[in-house]
Structures are given as structure tokens and as C-alpha cells.
Structure 1
Amino acid sequence: MMNQNYKIAMLATVLATTLSACSDGDDGAPGEPGKPGITPPVLASSASELNVEVEQIEVGADSSLTFRVTNEEDLAVAGLDKFGFIVAGLEQGREGDANSWKLLSSESCPASKYSGCGELIDNKDGSYRYKFDKDLSSVEAFELTDSKTLRLVVRTGGESVGVSEVPYDNAIHDFRLDGAELEYSKNVVTEENCVSCHDDLAFHGGKYTEVETCVACHADNKVSGEAVFPVLAHQVHIGEISAPVGGCDNCHQDTGVAQDFGNWKAVPTAETCSVCHQDVNFETGANHVGGPREDNSTCALCHSESEIEMKHLSTYQGQTSRRENLHLTVVDAKMVDAPQAQENIDSGRDTDTTGYVQLTVDILDKDGQSLNLQLDKADFFYYSEFYINWGGQDMGMERGKILRVFTNKEETVDSDYVAKPVLLNYANGKSTYEIGPFDLQDRFDGDLNDSYGMVTPRIWFCMDAAGENIESCSETSSVWGQGAAGYNWLHFFDKQGMLEQRPRRQVVTNEKCGSCHGMTERDSDGMAQMTLNCRSCHPVTKTDFFGTTCASGSIDSDGDGQLDEQLMMKSITPRGERDWTTASNAAEECVACHNANNPPTQVIRDSHTKQGDADYIEQLTMSHPDHKVWIHAMHANNRANQGGEGWVRNVEYSADLANCVKCHEGDSFDAKYLVGRKPLALDLDYMDTYDGLDPADPKDVSGNKRFAIDAKADAFVSPTAAVCLSCHGKRAPQTGEDRRQVRAEVVAHMKQNGAQFGVTEGEYNGEESCSVCHNLDNLKQVHGLK
């Protein structure tokens, strides 16, 4: 090993020396004025953060470090005695191995059973000197040379400055022994990648807060097996990540700093690949076409960069290109007071308080030109459907209406939420359908004539095996393998037609949701779609609830007439598939169904909560499908079919639940936006009128059987209380209490301030006063937001 010491950064000797003590100045020669004295540095009396500037470092048999610490106001901080020091070196990979960090030393002061402390000197002026306890040139796994990259990590924090407790922080410094510019510093992922999902990284008691620290210490010359960082990082995300597992670019993104973000496809190794491909044994060759492999030297011969990218992202990239071939575009939409289509006139369903939506669509090719084809005669659609509702931000109908021109779903019960396609007219490639009736009167919002509606298309069309030409679905050998989904544009409209400006405030965006769930972007127009699919949570399971739009719910697997608990695991197997039926605006069109009018039923059917439970109403509230409650409760793991570790629907949210701005745009979480909103509907006697599954005929609709679409609201809950309860309704997991029980004291506090739970329509007064105390400033303060 080289026994070489080198100083990489050094202030002027005079400055470094003079700052260590004070002087009255030198006496001048006779007849000359004396030199001015040295003014002592102003020391910080408090600090909320600590910044480290490396002044000098020597690496070798005798290694030392000189550094300066300042606070957020750039004032020197003296008197610190808690530090951590890590030095690692980047070694060139051999025989196909990736370049990897090797740990040279990890030391801390004061010393612990895990690490020793060398010699720490506090110069009392904000500068410190540390002499390493270990000979850094003696590490067998790494040889010091002038050109290799070294990494220094200085850990600060975990102690008080004045009366302030300073949080831990890691300062990262990459350098070379000869002081020259770095040739290479391996950064596969960076803090920027990680915090897109996580608020921060804090491991080992919060002492280590940067991914650059993790890779320096979790090196294969210190730890082994699953603890080596590339294996560890993949292992803890498999089965947990909220984006498609096979989408390696979820984490490995080009941020401008992570220059090695493409290593996942450029440097394949058995160690990393086997984390996902657990059925492959590279040593024995089991399930490996290439047979056994002693090392990684030949991996890239078969698994080229382009081949790896294609295998992992081909569906996602194929969808992106294939879906450009066709667009089902909403040309116009408006609400009319009375139907004009003869079939709707003859139905006799029109009243003085109803209206009909007239929806005009055109089928465009990849160049934006009309195909001049009537929609219901286009045999290349596997499904083409439109989700529509009317009534402003809270919508007016439980599930709105769905217009299914083509559908891949089974016939549904006559629920009045699936509208029969009624063609009003066709001209110049534009098909106009009339859908209704929609209620223009609401029990709480009153007259909805001056409100607005929303519509979004959901389509899947068929293509040839090459993915180049649109073809009839009857001729397509694999509808799913060859087909493509269209973009789900979201449109707003009123009685005059389409609205150019969105009437709803922007609460979340695809970019924010996609930072965790994955996102695809189109360079042509900036369209961003998150890759989360409904099927990520709703397993594809045929149930007796064939009248619903969701494919979850329970089944009677043993034929005893009793429904089994809903325990279907969502599909998170490693795959390259990017989910394609995604939201155009962060799932905003979901409010067509997921709104306050739609009582919860699934958790009752699955017996996750039932009549007679002490907190039955509160459990229903927290499990409500209303979008603003559903999203919060699901991420907080507080729905009645969630609970904690080991539960199938358990959610391990990767950030701080109090960090509202992690998802919300601006101040859209302000409680003032909930004042006057519609209460959430409940159906408290749902199970009294539901007779369960008939084992002889799952589709037998005789008797009192009721479907999710047939729930009847008989009670209501205040909207602000419902939203706040969705996060604050249950104990934190670390308390050790039963996570399934609602916190009675929280409910009592809400009731004391006007909230109502499970009251009838006549009893509801809408007088909750939450926003009086919990205004925006208060919310920011209690949630720790700036």
C-alpha cells in the first residue's frame, strides 16, 4: 500500500495560524505605527443547521483533517464534540464487476462500541482538527493512488448549540490525492432521486442522512450479502415500491448529478440482478440460459445495454410509441335541459330537474387528422368509454355515468350509472352521443344548473404484432400484448360547451404523484401521466359484484354461503410493464365515482367493519370512497381494510404524513376549502338489506341482494372532520395500540367543534368550525411546514 499523505485544501498558513489565538499586534519600528490586532471571530450562540468546510486533509498511514463549522448565518460554531468521520475509496471494477466503494475507515467522537475516536481538537474559533485513529493505507481491499476518487463524510449534529438541538447532517467531499479534478465519482442515485419519494433519509438513529454516505459505508469490504448497498437498496424496495417494479428508471433517473444513473443497464452483475430475479441461480446455472457463471465478466456479452433496457422497459416504451397512433378526442360537451335523441325522449325519464350531456368525439390519427369514422363502427376499439359527472367540485351523482361505446366488461345490472350509447348524430367524422339523465337538483347544493361537469375518455385499441398498424380487434392475436391505451384527457364543460379554463383548484398534479408512483412524459406537449393503475390496488378478481366498476371484493371460495375476507394481494411482481390506464390529472377524473355522494360498501361486504361495532360510523368515514378522504386514509394506512404490518393492504408510506406539500400544490390543503362542502354519505343499514352470495348462482339478483352501486344514503358526516380523521383517526404504529381502533378522543374533539357523524339529512347543519383555529398558518405550524 502507498504511504502517501496529501493536503487537498488549505487556507493561507498565516490565516490558519492567526485565527487560533488573539494578539495585540506587533509593535512597529520606531517612528512607524503598529500593525492592527487580530479581531476574535464572532461565535454562534445558536444554530439550526451546521455547515462544514474542509480546509485540509491528509490521507495515508497518518491521516488528519482540518475543517471549519458554521451555522445557518455563517457564524463560527465552537464547542462541538460529536462528529463522525468516514473515508472511502472508489475501486475500479474487474471481470465485469461494477466500480465500487471500499470503506477505509469509519470513526466517530465520542467513541462507541461500533467505532473508535482518534484525536479531536477544538480550536475554539470554529475550526477543528481530527487525527484518524486508523492507518488508511492499510486497507487490503483498496490501494491509494493519485488518480483514484476518495470520499470524505463528516457527520455533525445530535448535540446542542446554546439551547438549540441541531439535527444530524452529512457533509460529502469527493477528492483525489493529487488535488486534480476528479476523473470519476460513482453516483448511481443521489439524494434528489431518493427524496422524490422519501422526505429525507435518516438511518442508524438519524445519524446518516445522505445516500452518498450509505454507499461509502455499506461496502463489500465491511459488510456482506444483503447488507452491501446495491443489494440492500433493491431488496428493501422490491414488493414495497409504489411504482412498477420493473421500471428501473423510477429511481435511476438522470438528475444531472447522478452521472451513473444508467449503470442498471450498462453494468449487469449477478449480485444486483438476482435481487429481483430470485428464481435464477447464477452459480449453478438454474433458470439461467447461459448456464453457471463464476463471475460477471461475460454478463454484458449477452445482456447488452439495449437488450436490458428493452426487457425492462419495452412495454412502457412500446406503449408510449404505440399509443401515439390514435387519439379519441372530445371535441365538444355540454349539458342540455331536455333530451333531443328520440330514444331518450321516448324513455320518459326526463323531468323538470334533470338534464342530458351531449358529447361529441372524433377519432384522430397520429398526425391529428380525423379518420372520418363513426365511433360505434370502429372495430379496432377493445373498449372506448367515457366517465362523466355533473355538479361542480363535489359532483351531483354517486357514480356519475359511464358511456361505454365498446366495452370489455360483462353485462351489468341496470343501475342507471351505465348509460346506453345513444347516437344523436354523426357528421364529418364527429360522433355525438346523448347521455342522461343527470340530476340538476342536489339535496345539499340545491340547483346545479349553473354548475359544471367533467368527462374523460378511457380507451384501448388493437394493433398488429409489430405495433405499427391499427387493426381489427377480431384479428388481433393478443389484445393486451399488441394493443395500446389512449391518453386520458380530462375536460370540463357547462351548458354552453367546453371550458377553456379549469373551474377546479389544482390540488395535486401528475408530477407530484408520479414522483413516487412513476411518470411518463411526452416531449411534444409536456403531457405528464403517472403510471399508477387502478389494478395496483384492485386485484383482477371475478366476484358476485358484477354490477360494479371495481374488480375487488370478496368471494365465497368454499361455497358455504359466507363471503371470505378480501385478502387478494396486489400484483407487484417484478416486470417491465408500465401501467397504462392512467390519470390525465393526478386521478382527478376519479371523482366521477369517488365523491361524497357514494357511500362505502366494500369494507362492509368484506366484514372489515360491521353494524354493532363501537366505532362503526367512524370506520365507515375513514373508509369512504370520496376522493379527498380515500387518498388520505389509504396513504395513512387507516382504512378499515388496512391495519399494519402483515396485512395484505398495508401501506408503508415513504414520507412524513404531516408533509402536506409532498402531494398538495401550494396551499391547497388549507381547511378553508372544506368549509361549506357537501357532507359524506353513509349507508348504515347496508348489511341489513344484503343477503350475501347465493352459492348456486353468483348472478342471481333475486331477493334483497344489493350491489355497491345500489347503496342508499341514510346518514351523513361533516366533510372537514372526515378529511382530518382520515389521517388522525388511528394511533401511530409505534404506540403499540390496536391500529384498527379509531381514536375516540379525536372524534370527541371534532364533535365539540361542530362536526357531525352519522346524522340524518334533516339533522345535518354543516356548522363545523375547524378552520377557525386550524387556519393555514396553524396547519403549517402543527405540520412543520415552512
Structure 2
Amino acid sequence: MKPLNFKVATLAAMLATALTGCSGDDGQDGKDGTPGEPGQPGNPGLIVADSAKSLEVTVTDIALGEHTQVNFSVVNEQDLPVAGLDKFGFLLSGLELGQDGDANAWKLLASESCPASKYSGCGTLVDNKDGTYSYQFDRDVTAESAFTIADDKSLRLVVRSGGEEVGSTEVAYANLIHDFRPDGNTPSYSKNVVTEENCVSCHDDLAFHGGKYTEVETCVACHADNKVGEEALFTNLAHRLHIGKIAAPVGGCDNCHNEAGEASDFANWKRVPTIASCATCHADVDFKTGANHVGGPREDNSACAVCHSEAMIETNHLSTYQGQISRRENVHLTVTDARMVAAPQAQANIDAGLDTDQTGYVQLTVDIRDRDGQSMNLQLDKADFFYYSEFYINWGGHDMGMERGKILRVFTNKELYPGYVDTPIVLNYENGETTFEIGPFELTDTFDGDLTDSYGMVTPRIWFCMDAQGEKLESCKETSSVWGQGAAGFNWLHFFDEQGMLSERPRRQVVTNEKCGSCHGMTERDSDGMAQMTLNCRSCHPVTKTDSAFFGTTCASGSIDKDGDGQLDEQIMLKSLRPRGERDWTTASNAGEECLACHNANNPPTQVIRDAHTKQGDADYVEQLTMSHPDHKVWIHAMHANNRANQGGEGWVRNVAYSADLANCVKCHEGDSFDAKYLVGRKPLALDLDYMDSYDGLDPDNGKDTSGNKRYAVDAKADAYVSPTAAVCLSCHGKRAPEAGEDRRQVRKEVVAHMKQNGAQFGVTEGEYTGEESCAVCHNLDNLKSVHGLN
């Protein structure tokens, strides 16, 4: 309490007494005066946020100079001011326009953060307690020799917020990107080669350096040549981490460099060639000495565009698939009709005597059409410009009824094997349309019963031969380089039933071509809206008969006992899953689900057994087979999670580094198609547990070896089954991180036990299988969204 001044108080009392004695007051109250005007309302107290889930920063003004000051405000998701924050980061960069062929480049002027750390200092941060703040840079930003500030130049301020608690919640990091000019005018140019939209097509989000930096615009502003070494320059860093390692083709620059969001400079890769950017891919070129460079040595970028024009660069990089688009247009192998019939009509099928009252035959009609959609009036099996023309067909509805269905191989490069490569049977040829009859298809199923009223699917796989100019079709028998001068035809997926082709798809949409193609590469055709996603099937299915280096990795294969210890040797000579450099020279998908014709629950896993990645006697043999199953819904999950038995070994080339969060189901799935209810009552996955019991090996030096019990994948016979929901969930959740000394990750026993407690069955016989999984009771859609962070 403030002390009372005794002298002042005494004087006041004496004056009051004196005035009373002299007033002449009669002691009556006076009349009330006239009421005054109403007063102005008082200002209410400022309301500031006591919690926040997110922060939004707004820069109000920037004063550049020796002591550059930034004034900014912060509000929460309810637009309430947030006071009391003390963790911020500040980056300031300037954009220098390139001269003599150099690319425009950001130069870092300052990088500071509060509180200070061993990596950066903190200037002066002032909290005005009302949601507004000011920050004065510790460093003189005008002293940077790599950049001179001028009124008309573009600058970029990055303000990092988050990483601290507001109320009881820790707010996530976020980066505000504020581009400006010193004179206050809007920048006429800010270099944006790639944007977040480009990156998140594969990644869920960007979060580097402990999650503090979340925007690609931040990365380019800091990874500048006046701040970091050559290896850490953003262009070099991004190329080194992606080229040859991501799922899209090498050389397909437009996988990342496309006009998404605000990527105004997306075409820089072909418009502004520089030594630094080109060398990240063309590592064999020494620009200083001129080695492997037709133009000889180059000291700078001044002459690059003289030879390397935009059109030339685009052609050299993208012609491997853009050129293929033009080539592919020459031939359309068009399915005009498909239907299931109860009994065969082709004499060869009648004579085969395979028809029963529980089988059916598919009649498939195909027309060869030119780029204008006109029939070529050619019988398909007599056209000599096809290197292969194959149709993958299955019947049975959602789960399909047969292991690999039936494959009509009109022309093929496959090794002859009865039941796998059969002579095509022509039922009819009329008006340019060839009708084939394929079968028999089983119309009864152990688990699904009568399949007569179901539906089927058919998809082609095509390669045809052309001249070197890609203008004329050419006989494959006369073409010296089939692969160099050919083209992969467009692939279509069709559904059909007993009446014919279905105009509407009978299956729910699980994935789309666009979602898969966002990472794997995609070709879009404006003429019909079709989008084809690249599928490099040969990454998994190499042609081992002509490729001795990869003998033992495809349909006819198996490990051998080289050291004579009585055990099959571990086979790790696997073909790399890394992408090739040619987009669309490989099989292309137009629905992302054609694989189901072969990759279904009926098809037991064989490759990981043949190559001894798992074998009878292993404690986790059944579980390893489950996670290595070719069934589409297991195969895709397990491959991306790196959980197949042939993945996870140190240095193995089949390891997959998935670029997004595995828990983000909607990254691949359409809508709520990941709901566990869709797996209830589905067909169990087939296993062949004794597949290798009688295998005695092949000669790895002889690709034509047919001695001994040659094990084909199509030899597999189901003798055990696994519950479908458990198999799908195990494909992601079934393994833990590698432990010291382990060559591959081990199955999590506690996960398997949990599944078994809720009805899952692993490796049981047909008679033992009950199909009584209760997973969806607890793991309903709401639960799945919650535990996967999708709410």
C-alpha cells in the first residue's frame, strides 16, 4: 500500500472544517441537477487464446537494414490472438537473377531461431502480449556479399512457428512463406520450380530437420550455394535422393517437374540447362575436362542452351515415353465382346473332352484397329507384327475363381509349358474380328460355391514391332531389334458375364490409376480421358531363360545346395525393384487392378519358398508365406511395407523405401474402401506348405535345363489356408524393426496371437477352416480411422 502523507492529510482536514463554518448552509439538500449525457462504453479487455491446435502467422511489416525488424501477428484456428510464444525461426533469402546461362538462385541472407542453439543465434524477440510480436535479426542481412538488396528484387521471409505448448496441446511446426519486395510492391517473380503439391503426390507431407521445416519453399531458400556445400544444394540433394530410387521412371523429369500449384518455373529443367543440375544425373560427364561431353569442356553455363535447346532436352528425356505414346497409337487391340458359355463350341475344345457340368468356356472377340479406330481386317493369330499379344482372363467375381485364371497367348515370348502356354483356339473370324474360345473355367468353388451367375475380367498385354522411325508396322520376324523398335500397346480392363461385356463395373473401386500413378508415373490421354499408370512387371518377373544373372527368380526356378550341406542355399540374387529409364515401354495399367487376374487368393506363394527365403521348419514359416502371398490385397500392402520374406535383408535390392506414412490408408485407397467390413466372408488365402518337398534343383548355368523335378509356379497345389482379414492386417503389422544380427525382420508373435484370439486361422486345412474372424467388430471404420490418424 502506498504510504499516506501525514502533512497533506492534516491540512485537508483543517480546510474542510473552516469552509463548513463559513458556508451559511441551512442544512437542506439542494435540488438535483440536469442529468448528464450517457458516457461512452468502456473498452473490454483483450481476449487472447488459452489453447491452440494450429497457429497462423501474418507478417505486418518488414524494415530492412543493419538491424532488420519483422513485425508479425499470431492467431489460433479460432482467429484468437496467441500470446506467450517464445519458439520461432526466421529465414531471409534473396532471389538473384541468373546471368550468362546461370539459373536464378536464392541466396541465404540470415537463418536465426529462438531460443538460440548451437546451430543458430537468436536476435531480439519481443512479445507484445496481445498476439503481436517483433523480431530484430541479430545478423546484418545487408552485409551478405552473395546478394545485394535492391528495391525491385524478390526476397523471401520464412517464419517458423510451433513446437511448443499452447494450453495443454503442443502445436505442430508450420512455416509461413512471405515473398516481398523492399519497396513494398508485390514481387513480379518468385522462383518456384517444384511446390508442395508436386511433393505430396508421393509424400504425405514434408517435415525435415526434426519436423521444423515443412515447405519446399523453405528448403530452396536455405539450401543455397552461399550457405551449404555442393552436395547439399537443393537441386543436387533432391536429385540424388530421388533419381533411380523412386517408383517412377528415370528420365521422366515431369514426374516432379509439372505444373502443379504455383510451380511457375516447373519447366526450368528443360529451359535452363546448367552444369550443376545436369551433372546430378549425368554423373559420367566431366564438364571441366569435356570427358563424355560432345561439346567438350565447359567452365560455365553460358553456352549450354546453344546446343541443348528446350525441345532437344524434352525429346532426349521424355521421348522414351512421349514417343511411345505416338507409337502406341498405331495399334489398338480392342476387345469387342467377351462372354461365358456353358459348353464349348470350338471343335478342338470339344475333342479335348475337358468339359463337365461344372465348367464353362470364355469366348473372346478381338479386333485389331489402327490409330483412327478403323479395323485392319486382320485375323489376330495371323498378324506378324505382334511380338506378344496375351489376354489375362479370370472368372468368379470379387475374389476370382482360379489361381492364374486362363491366359490366352496368341503370340508369346514365354517358354512352352502345358496348361500355361496353350495353342490359341480360334472359334471364328468375321469382319476383321477374331473370336477365341478359352477354357475350361471351373464354375464351382470350395468356399464360394456356384460361380455360374458371377462375372469375369479380361485385360490384354501387347507388344508390336515397328520400323526405327516409329511410323510403320513391321514383321517381328524381320525386325533385328524388337525391343528397340517396338511399342507396348494400350491396356484396357473389361468385365463380362454370360450375356456379354458389362457397361458398368461390378466391383467397388479400391484404388485408381491416378493415385497409383502419382508415384509410379502416369500417361494421360486427353482424347478419351484415359490415364495409364506404369507397371514395370519385369522388376519382379525377369526373363530368366535368357538372363543367367537372374536365374532362379521367376516362374521356373529354385535354389540349389551348392555347398553340399543338405540345405538349400539362400537365394538373394534378386532383380532390383528400381525403376527403369523407359516409361511406357513396360506394361501400363488403366485401372490399377488388372493384376487380380493372377494376383488373387487362390494363387499360393512359391517364389519365396523356391529361393529359400522361408522354408518348412522355420518357426514363422506360415506367417512369412502369408506376408509373401501374391493376393493383390496382401501383396501390395506387404511390398510397400517391406514385409515380404524376400525383403528386409541387409543390402537386398528388393527393399522398398515407401515415401509416405504406411498408416495413411487414403494415400492409395479410394474413399472408405479400406473398411474391414469388406473382408468379412471373403475367400481365405491358399498356401502350399509342402511345395518344395520333392524339388531336386536345376543347373543354374543352363537356362534350358529340364532335368529333375522342375518346379514351376503353376505346379502349386493348395493344402492350407489363412483367414483373409488377418492376412491383410499382417501384411503391414506383422513384422518389427530389424534387431542386431538378424538378416531379415521377424514376425511379431504378439500380433499373430491377437489375431488368433479373435478367430484368425493360419495354415489350417480346408476342413479346419471356419471363416469366423471377428476383427471388424472392434476394428470398424471409425476405429480404423482413429488408429491410423485419418480423422
TMscore range, shorter length: over 0.9
After TM superposition, the structure 1 = structure 2 runs for residues 177-576 of structure 1, keeping only pairs within 5 Å, are: 177-410=182-415, 412-414=416-418, 416-542=419-545, 550=554, 565-570=571-576, 572=578, 575=581
Structure 1 residues 203-237: Cα deviation after superposition (integer angstroms, max 9, x where no partner): 11110111100011111001111111111110111
Distance 1:571 1:627, change over 3 A: closer
Q: Secondary structure at 1:673's aligned position in 2?
A: helix
Report the Cα offset of residue 704 of structure 1.
3.5
Give the TM-score taking structure 2 as reference length: 0.92
Give the structure 1 partner of residue 586 of structure 2: 580
Report the AA paired with residue 435 of structure 1. Answer: I
Give the structure 2 partner of residue 20 of structure 1: none
Q: Secondary structure at 2:179's aligned position in 1?
A: strand
User: Are the counterparts in 2 of residues 219 and 228 from structure 1 also a CA contact under 8 Å?
Assistant: yes
Distance 1:697 1:172, change over 3 A: closer
Separation in structure 2 between the aligned mates of residue 732 and residue 686 of structure 1, nearest angstrom:
29
Separation in structure 2 between the aligned mates of residue 547 and residue 397 of structure 1, nearest angstrom:
28
Distance 1:358 1:545, change over 3 A: farther
Separation in structure 1 between the aligned mates of residue 150 and residue 557 of structure 2, nearest angstrom:
63
Report the AA paired with residue 151 of structure 2. Answer: D
Report the AA paired with residue 523 of structure 2. Answer: T
Give the structure 2 partner of residue 138 of structure 1: 143
User: Are the counterparts in 2 of residues 637 and 644 from structure 1 also a CA contact under 8 Å?
Assistant: no
Separation in structure 1 between the aligned mates of residue 288 and residue 550 of structure 2, nearest angstrom:
49
User: Are the counterparts in 1 of residues 553 and 607 from structure 2 also a CA contact under 8 Å?
Assistant: no
Q: Secondary structure at 2:589's aligned position in 1?
A: coil
Q: Secondary structure at 1:762's aligned position in 2?
A: coil
Separation in structure 2 between the aligned mates of residue 97 and residue 136 of structure 1, nearest angstrom:
24
Separation in structure 1 between the aligned mates of residue 760 and residue 540 of structure 2, nearest angstrom:
31
Distance 1:526 1:553, change over 3 A: farther
Report the Cα offset of residue 480 of structure 1.
1.7
Report the Cα offset of residue 566 of structure 1.
3.4
User: Are the counterparts in 2 of residues 245 and 572 from structure 1 also a CA contact under 8 Å?
Assistant: no
User: Are the counterparts in 2 of residues 540 and 551 from structure 1 also a CA contact under 8 Å?
Assistant: no
Give the structure 2 partner of residue 11 of structure 1: none
User: Are the counterparts in 2 of residues 78 and 124 from structure 1 also a CA contact under 8 Å?
Assistant: yes
Give the structure 2 partner of residue 26 of structure 1: none
Report the Cα offset of residue 702 of structure 1.
5.3
RMSD over aligned Cα, in angstroms?
2.3
Distance 1:52 1:313, change over 3 A: same
Separation in structure 1 between the aligned mates of residue 628 and residue 579 of structure 2, nearest angstrom:
27
Separation in structure 2 between the aligned mates of residue 111 and residue 668 of structure 1, nearest angstrom:
47
After TM superposition, the structure 1 = structure 2 runs for residues 78-227 of structure 1, keeping only pairs within 5 Å, are: 78-227=83-232
Separation in structure 2 between the aligned mates of residue 574 and residue 65 of structure 1, nearest angstrom:
49
Task: Kindly indicate whether residue 788 of structure 2 is the aligned counterpart of residue 783 of structure 1.
Answer: yes
Report the Cα offset of residue 694 of structure 1.
4.2
Separation in structure 2 between the aligned mates of residue 216 and residue 552 of structure 1, nearest angstrom:
53
Separation in structure 2 between the aligned mates of residue 36 and residue 419 of structure 1, nearest angstrom:
93
Report which stretch shifted further, 432-441 or 457-466: 457-466
User: Are the counterparts in 2 of residues 603 and 641 from structure 1 also a CA contact under 8 Å?
Assistant: yes
User: Are the counterparts in 1 of residues 559 and 612 from structure 2 also a CA contact under 8 Å?
Assistant: no
Structure 1 residues 409-455: Cα deviation after superposition (integer angstroms, max 9, x where no partner): 23x221x2434210101111111000000101111111110111100
Distance 1:672 1:638, change over 3 A: same
Distance 1:553 1:220, change over 3 A: farther
Separation in structure 2 between the aligned mates of residue 707 and residue 242 of structure 1, nearest angstrom:
29
Report the Cα offset of residue 161 of structure 1.
0.6
Aligned partner of 1:677 among 672, 678, 682: 682
Q: Secondary structure at 2:634's aligned position in 1?
A: helix
Q: Secondary structure at 2:588's aligned position in 1?
A: coil
Report the Cα offset of residue 296 of structure 1.
1.1
Structure 1 residues 463-521: Cα deviation after superposition (integer angstroms, max 9, x where no partner): 22221222322333432222112111100011111111111110001100011111110
Report the AA paired with residue 581 of structure 1. Answer: T
Report the Cα offset of residue 549 of structure 1.
11
Report the Cα offset of residue 571 of structure 1.
6.7
Distance 1:131 1:574, change over 3 A: farther
Structure 1 residues 152-193: Cα deviation after superposition (integer angstroms, max 9, x where no partner): 000011000100110111010101111122121000000010
Higher radius of gyration, 1 or 2? 2
Give the TM-score taking structure 1 as reference length: 0.92
Separation in structure 1 between the aligned mates of residue 556 and residue 112 of structure 2, nearest angstrom:
53
Aligned partner of 1:730 among 706, 717, 735: 735
Give the structure 1 partner of residue 747 of structure 2: 742
Separation in structure 2 between the aligned mates of residue 557 and residue 698 of structure 1, nearest angstrom:
17
User: Are the counterparts in 1 of residues 536 and 579 from structure 2 also a CA contact under 8 Å?
Assistant: no
Q: Secondary structure at 1:215's aligned position in 2?
A: helix
User: Are the counterparts in 1 of residues 698 and 708 from structure 2 also a CA contact under 8 Å?
Assistant: no
Report the Cα offset of residue 269 of structure 1.
1.1
Give the structure 1 partner of residue 27 of structure 2: none
Report the Cα offset of residue 94 of structure 1.
2.1
Q: Secondary structure at 2:725's aligned position in 1?
A: helix
Q: Secondary structure at 2:693's aligned position in 1?
A: helix
Separation in structure 2 between the aligned mates of residue 571 and residue 738 of structure 1, nearest angstrom:
19
Give the structure 1 partner of residue 69 of structure 2: 64
Separation in structure 1 between the aligned mates of residue 563 and residue 618 of structure 2, nearest angstrom:
27
Separation in structure 2 between the aligned mates of residue 309 and residue 431 of structure 1, nearest angstrom:
40
User: Are the counterparts in 2 of residues 454 and 492 from structure 1 also a CA contact under 8 Å?
Assistant: yes
Separation in structure 1 between the aligned mates of residue 166 and residue 576 of structure 2, nearest angstrom:
48
Unaligned runs of 5+ in 2: 1-34
Report the AA paired with residue 534 of structure 2. Answer: T
User: Are the counterparts in 2 of residues 247 and 578 from structure 1 also a CA contact under 8 Å?
Assistant: no
Unaligned runs of 5+ in 1: 1-29
Report the AA paired with residue 608 of structure 1. Answer: H
Task: Kindly indicate whether residue 616 of structure 2 is the aligned counterpart of residue 616 of structure 1.
Answer: no
Structure 1 residues 271-296: Cα deviation after superposition (integer angstroms, max 9, x where no partner): 11111111111111111111111111
Report the Cα offset of residue 564 of structure 1.
6.2
Name the % identity. 75
User: Are the counterparts in 2 of residues 538 and 552 from structure 1 also a CA contact under 8 Å?
Assistant: no
Q: Secondary structure at 1:434's aligned position in 2?
A: strand
The size of the alignment, in residue pairs, is 754
Report the Cα offset of residue 700 of structure 1.
5.0
Separation in structure 1 between the aligned mates of residue 422 and residue 710 of structure 2, nearest angstrom:
22
Report the Cα offset of residue 381 of structure 1.
1.2
Report the Cα offset of residue 776 of structure 1.
0.2
Q: Secondary structure at 1:89's aligned position in 2?
A: strand
Q: Secondary structure at 1:481's aligned position in 2?
A: coil
Separation in structure 2 between the aligned mates of residue 74 and residue 734 of structure 1, nearest angstrom:
48
Report the Cα offset of residue 380 of structure 1.
1.4
Report the AA paired with residue 45 of structure 1. Answer: D
User: Are the counterparts in 2 of residues 389 and 453 from structure 1 also a CA contact under 8 Å?
Assistant: yes
User: Are the counterparts in 1 of residues 369 and 375 from structure 2 also a CA contact under 8 Å?
Assistant: yes
